[in-house]
Amino acid sequence: MKVPNSFIAIILLSFSVAAGGCKQESANDSKSSSVSESKTASPTSAEADKAKVEMTTGQGKQMTLTLQTLPDSRGYQYCELVFNYGEVGNDIYSTSPLAPANLEWWDNLDVEALAKEFGAESVYKNGPQWWSMDEVGVMASKPVEVAGIDMVFGAHLPPGTLKIAQYKVFNPAKYQNLTWDAGKPVYEIIDAEGHVYVLQGHKIPTDELATLGEKFKRLPEGWKYRVRDLEKDLVMNLTPKEPIPSVQDEFDQIYIRIPE
C-alpha cells in the first residue's frame, strides 16, 4: 500500500515533530532558524549534537532519539514506513541513515503482515526518495529490526499532524543539521513575497530536477522554481526553538526557507 497524498509530507517531518511539532500559517508570520555559509559548528549545531529526545511509540515502547549524521548524503536513496495506530497516532521508521534503500525488499514488503506484527491498524510506504543536501543530521533511534532489515525510529506523531496542504507554509520544530556544498546545485521555490525555499528530499529523480519547473501545474501565481549552483556552502542548523517555515509542492516534496 502506498502513502496517500495527505501523508506524503512526512518525507522530512518524520524527524522533526519528534522534537516539537508544527503548525500552518501564512508566509509572513514565521521566524527562521540559524544559517551560515561555512561548515564551522555553531552554537545551534552544538546544541543539536547534545540533544536527546525520549519518545513513546504507538506500541507503548520507550525510544531515545539522538542526532545522527549522514555524510555524503546527496543522492542517498531511502525509504520510510508510516505505522498508523489510529487515535494513538503514527510511528515513523526510516532506512536513513543506516543504509541506502533496498528496493527489492521495499517492493516485496508485506505491509499487512507488518501492521499485524507491530499491532498497527495499517502501514503506509513513503518512498523511495533521495536527500538533496551533501550532509544531513537527523534525530533517530538506535537500529530497530523491521521486516528483516534495520531501520531507525524517527518520530511518533499525533493524529492529524501529517496532513499538509500544498504550497501552504507550515512550521515544523526540529533538530536538524543540513549542509549543501559550494559549487553544487540546489533546487528552490521562491514565493510571491520573495522568500526562498530549498528542496530537502526529492521523489523526482535527480536528472529530472533541472527541468522540474516545466512540470508544475499548480504553482501559485507569483511563485517560481529555479536551479542554481552555490557560490558558498549553505549550512542550516535547526532547533525546535525556531520552527522552520516549509512548503510542500505538488510532487509531495518538502522545501525549507533559507533565512534572509
Q: Across all residues in the chain, what is the average pLDDT?
A: 85
From CA 91, how far away is CA 127, in angstroms rounded? 16
At 239-258, the pLDDT tens digits run 989 999 999 999 999 999 99
From CA 91, how far away is CA 159, in angstroms rounded? 10
- What is the per-residue burial (b if ≥16 Cβ within 10 Å, else e) of 10-26? bbbbbbbbbbbbbeeee
Q: What is the mean pLDDT of residues 176-201?
A: 98
Cα dihedral 71, 72, 75, 77 in deg (nearest 10):
-40
From CA 259, how far away is CA 195, in angstroms rounded? 8
Query: Which of the 8 DSSP states describes residue 49?
Result: H
Query: Which of the 8 DSSP states describes residue 218?
Result: S
Q: In terms of pLDDT, which residue wins out, 23 or 104?
A: 104
Q: How confident is the model at residue 19 (pLDDT cuts 50, 70, 90)?
A: very low
From CA 158, how far away is CA 81, in angstroms rounded? 16
Residue (of 214, 217, 169, 215) closest to 193 by Cα position: 169
Q: Please give the single-letter amino acid code of residue 120.
A: A
Domain ranges of the chain: 5-257
Report pLDDT for 32.
Answer: 42
Residue (of 94, 70, 87) closest to 150 by Cα position: 94
1: CB partners within 8 A, 6+ apart: 111, 112, 122, 123, 124, 125
At 34-89, the pLDDT tens digits run 555 444 334 445 555 567 889 999 999 999 999 999 999 999 999 999 999 999 99
Task: Give the start-end residues of each E strand in the chain.
Answer: 34-36, 52-56, 62-71, 77-84, 90-94, 122-131, 135-140, 143-146, 149-157, 176-180, 185-190, 196-199, 201-202, 224-229, 234-238, 246-248, 254-257
Q: Are 125 and 106 in contact (CB under 8 A)?
A: yes
Q: Please give the single-letter amino acid code of residue 249.
A: D
At 119-156, the pLDDT tens digits run 999 999 999 999 999 999 999 999 999 999 999 999 99
Is the Cα torsion angle 121, 173, 234, 250 positive or negative in sign? positive
Can you name the residues that pair with 166 across neighbouring β-strands? Answer: 248
Sheet holding 77-84, edge to edge: 143-146, 149-157, 90-94, 77-84, 122-131, 201-202
